[in-house]
């Protein structure tokens, strides 16, 4: 083949370093940034990418995959025998029905809309079920197709401007519920479609609570895609819209402002901006302290009880091992009334212990997370990364514990 010819990707498959460089570039990270996030130097990243260093061992591959948000490990390694889904689950049994309902495009008014009060009561029960059920995806996946159909019908049947705005707020809330369900499912494009529909319905409703929730979820989608500037733009614009309303706002709107403030801090932490991240966390803490005792937002989980969990995540995203553990010890998971949110907090605690070089504590904490909400752990890429890494540990006892946990999570059959 001529040296000027385009390389054949099948005859000359990309090696690990080339794949890492392409994925890093796609995420908009410099070599120094990637190196810092995996506790290496920019020159080390360059050496791997140019082939001067050989492919790193599995624990480092998993750390790189986490930073680059690689959904399937074979994307990074090129080894089709390593088709391990990290940040995408195997696909929930209810996912096909939910996707079908979301992809439907009903234009006629043949389907009768339920009364708004009835629809609101069903949505409220759905959020309650999500927080209380250990198999929350199964419960929500059963409810969503009917809720999507009826909420869309409510908008079509609205006879006045006020009724239509109210129906749009309900539809937005159904889309928010759907976005929770669709996260980590094997269709990333669907998550974005749902997020955009939720934002459009919220804007049409002109309801500050709905607008804030749409921004909260959209910010997370941007950050998980490493679109940090876009995440900041949505968060800060929406906070600017909400702040003048807060003195006269109800608890739910003030809680959404608090949740958005946390998101601003988490985005700063993901970028390594320590002072900014903790400043936003302090702002969120003050907002939480202004809420009634025992208050818990049904969508964002924002509350005084969850602020400690957010502190753990800030420290972990800043890759501060000692501070992560200090926050993990301080934050009490049992105070969080939501099963999936409690399990997510346990996962963040496990990340803290793992970052601090305490793998046995990390595995034990993941086991507690599984007890709280198995489906939360099953679809979480950070949990999978820890389990996979410890399955390669030198300690036979730790390998056995990690393998047993992998079996409980369904990773051996996914």
How many whole angstroms separate alpha carbon 373 and alpha carbon 359?
A: 21
Please report the sign of the dihedral spanned by the C-alpha atoms of residue 358, residue 360, residue 363, residue 369. Answer: negative
How many whole angstroms separate alpha carbon 286 and alpha carbon 343?
A: 25
Q: Which CATH class is domain 16-82?
A: mainly alpha
Q: What token pair was written down for 370?
A: 């599984």
Place of tokens 């624990």: 59
Q: 406 with 414: CB under 8 angstroms?
A: no
| DSSP helix/strand/coil, 72 | strand
Q: What token pair was written down for 39?
A: 């506790």
Please report the sign of the dihedral spanned by the C-alpha atoms of residue 355, residue 360, residue 361, residue 364. Answer: positive
Q: 202 with 210: CB under 8 angstroms?
A: yes
Gyration radius of the chain over CA positions: 22
Please report the sign of the dihedral spanned by the C-alpha atoms of residue 374, residue 377, residue 380, residue 386. Answer: negative
Q: What token pair was written down for 339?
A: 């099963």
**Segments in the chain below pLDDT 50:** 1-11, 414
**pLDDT score, position 10:** 40
Q: What Cα–Cα distance (Å) separates residue 273 from each residue in 44, 158, 320? A: 22, 47, 12
**pLDDT score, position 295:** 96
Burial class of residue 25 in the structure, from the number of CB atoms within 10 Å of its CB (0-12 exposed, 13-18 middle, 19+ buried): exposed
**pLDDT score, position 368:** 94
- For the chain, what are the domain ranges? 16-82, 90-206, 215-302, 320-414
**pLDDT score, position 1:** 38
Helix (H) / strand (E) element for 403: namely helix 396-408
Dmax over Cα atoms in the chain, in whole Å? Answer: 73
At CA 336, angle to CA 232 and CA 289, rounded to 5? 60
**pLDDT score, position 3:** 41
Tell which residue, 223, 293, 303, has the closest CA to residue 256.
303
């Amino acid at each position: 083949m001529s040296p000027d010819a385009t390389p054949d990707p099948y005859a000359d498959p990309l090696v690990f370093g080339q794949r890492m460089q392409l994925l890093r570039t796609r995420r908009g990270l410099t070599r120094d940034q990637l190196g810092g996030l995996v506790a290496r130097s920019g020159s080390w990243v360059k050496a791997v990418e140019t082939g001067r260093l050989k492919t790193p061992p599995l624990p480092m591959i998993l750390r790189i995959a986490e930073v680059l948000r690689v959904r399937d490990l074979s994307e990074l390694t090129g080894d089709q025998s390593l088709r391990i889904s990290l940040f995408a689950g195997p696909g929930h049994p209810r996912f096909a029905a939910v996707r079908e309902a979301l992809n439907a495009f009903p234009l006629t008014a043949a389907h009768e809309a339920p009364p708004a009060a009835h629809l609101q009561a069903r949505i409220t029960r759905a959020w309650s079920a999500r927080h209380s059920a250990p198999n929350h995806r199964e419960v929500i996946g059963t409810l969503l197709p009917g809720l999507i159909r009826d909420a869309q019908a409510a908008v079509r049947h609205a006879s006045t401007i006020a009724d239509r705005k109210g129906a749009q707020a309900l539809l937005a809330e159904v889309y928010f519920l759907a976005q929770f369900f669709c996260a980590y499912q094997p269709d990333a494009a669907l998550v974005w479609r749902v997020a955009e529909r939720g934002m459009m319905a919220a804007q049409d409703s002109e309801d500050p609570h709905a607008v804030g929730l749409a921004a909260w979820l959209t910010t997370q989608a941007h950050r998980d895609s490493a679109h940090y500037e876009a995440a900041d733009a949505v968060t800060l614009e929406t906070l600017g819209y909400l702040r003048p309303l807060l003195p006269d706002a109800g608890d739910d709107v003030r809680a959404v402002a608090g949740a958005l403030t946390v998101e601003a801090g988490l985005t700063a932490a993901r970028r390594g901006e320590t002072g900014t991240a903790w400043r936003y966390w302090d702002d969120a803490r003050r907002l939480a302290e202004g809420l009634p005792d025992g208050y818990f937002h049904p969508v964002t989980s924002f509350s005084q009880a969850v602020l400690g969990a957010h502190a753990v995540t800030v420290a972990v995203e800043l890759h501060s091992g000692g501070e992560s553990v200090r926050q993990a010890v301080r934050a009490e998971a049992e105070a969080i009334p939501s099963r999936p949110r409690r399990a997510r907090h346990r996962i963040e605690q496990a990340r803290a212990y793992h970052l601090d070089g305490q793998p046995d504590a990390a595995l034990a904490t993941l086991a507690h997370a599984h007890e709280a909400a198995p489906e939360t752990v099953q679809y979480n890429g950070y949990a999978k990364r820890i389990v996979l890494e410890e399955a390669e540990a030198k300690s036979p006892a730790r390998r056995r514990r990690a393998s047993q946990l992998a079996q409980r999570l369904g990773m051996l059959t996914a």
